Amino acid sequence: MASTVVNLSCNVGATKVLDRANYMGLKPSMNSNFVCVRSTNRACNRRLFVVRASEMHDDKKMGLSDAECEAAVVAGNVPKAPPVPPMPVAPAGTPVVATLPLNRRPRRNRKSPALRAAFQETSLTPANFVYPLFIHEGEEDTPIGAMPGCYRLGWRHGLLEEVSKARDVGVNSVVLFPKVPDALKSPSGDEAYNDNGLVPRTIRLLKDKYPDLVIYTDVALDPYNSDGHDGIVREDGVIMNDETVHQLCKQAVSQARAGADVVSPSDMMDGRVGAIRGALDAEGFHHVSIMSYTAKYASSFYGPFREALDSNPRFGDKKTYQMNPANYREALVETREDESEGADILLVKPGLPYLDIIRLLRDNSALPIAAYQVSGEYSMIKAGGVLKMIDEERVMMESLMCLRRAGADIILTYFALQAARCLCGEKR
């Protein structure tokens, strides 16, 4: 018979030395030989006792039938069981107060790990993660200084190794971001829809190696634009909307042709979701999903990402197409437009500073909601961990849980591999 172990803090008051031999079932822990004695001026030393059911009675079966066992209990011959544990005693100096007249005590549902797990409202699994991966034409993996632990991965070697590691711990979704050679960049970003460009080649390689891998792609011109903007720049500095959308449609079709599962317009041009949906359907890619960057804010948290892709705007900023961080209701306008144009997933970027926007979309749309925990969020947690100002692993997991709690179904996060290993119990 297995033992039932109960840890009790011994504060038993007595007028004589506690007779352990006659106090059935209580056994002092092995690291001490003391006994508890009542004292008028001193509190009884705390001791740990272990109650073991297997040591209290003979656990051998007697061969009795169910009816015989029931009859014995009815006759008053109750089998031995562990004794009622003594009530724990408060430490010396604790004030004696009247019990509060509370009908509801929420702490009752938090009193043990098992209860806390049973009533946990939000879950986090590796399936919730989409792993952003930076790729380049080189063969070596190049560290990204502003993002410790992240690399520009060689598309033929390092990328495959990183994807394999992620799949081993349950992360089977990736999103690709290319570092394009400067010589291939142009004002109109034509390299974005080159069927033999870096991204289409990478998609074909990944699908050949891992057919069931879910591949998200980024649809925007900034990695390919010599001006570093998400759209075509007119000579007076204006970002041209409709002309950019025309290029984005060709980019999305090229990515779908290579095998992308989800194309993700991150450019914030007006009308691009509907135009891309039409272009995909016209080419027979009805099955390819669109994850729209619905509420993408002109945020200062993107700095490390732009170093990773060497894609800082050559001039100006992105405030004429990305959203004002001060705006809340505007996110609903973007949500309604993207839904009506055929988006399959709605994304909020950044993540933690915009939990209210994630909740706003969750409460106003039945579509899946994605959140992007961006490079600045990642780098701050990493830096805080290095400086021992925070517990990196705990803060990482809490931040991801908060994004889920706010309403995100999936999270794009550079922590995907590290967090999945934690969830799987690995320590690497």
SS (H, E, C) 203-257: HHHHHHHCCCCEEEEEECCCCCECCCCCCEECCCCCEEHHHHHHHHHHHHHHHHH
d(Cα 174, Cα 417) in Å, to the nearest integer?
Answer: 11
Per cent of the chain over pLDDT 90 is 79
What does each C-alpha distance from 270 to 29, 169, 245, 277, 337 come to in angstroms? Answer: 71, 38, 8, 14, 9
Q: pLDDT value at position 55?
A: 55
The residue annotated as part of the active site, out of 179, 296, 318, 382, is: 296
409 falls in which pLDDT band (50, 70, 90)?
very high
For residue 263, which of 292, 235, 240, 234 has the smallest C-alpha distance?
Answer: 292
In the predicted model, is pLDDT for residue 333 greater than 50? yes
22 falls in which pLDDT band (50, 70, 90)?
very low
Is 296 assigned a catalytic role? Answer: yes
pTM (2 decimals)?
0.82
Tokens of residue 302, six digits? 């993107």
Q: pLDDT value at position 115?
A: 95
d(Cα 86, Cα 20) in Å, to the nearest integer?
Answer: 15
The one-letter amino acid at 131: Y
- The residues spanned by each domain of the chain are 126-424
Q: Which residue has the tokens 């656990």?
A: 59
Mean pLDDT of the chain: 88
Average pLDDT over residues 141-164: 95
Q: pLDDT value at position 159?
A: 97
The residue annotated as part of the active site, out of 349, 382, 388, 427, is: 349
In the predicted model, is pLDDT for residue 279 greater than 60? yes
So what CATH class is 126-424?
A: alpha beta
Q: pLDDT value at position 310?
A: 65
Average pLDDT over residues 230-244: 94
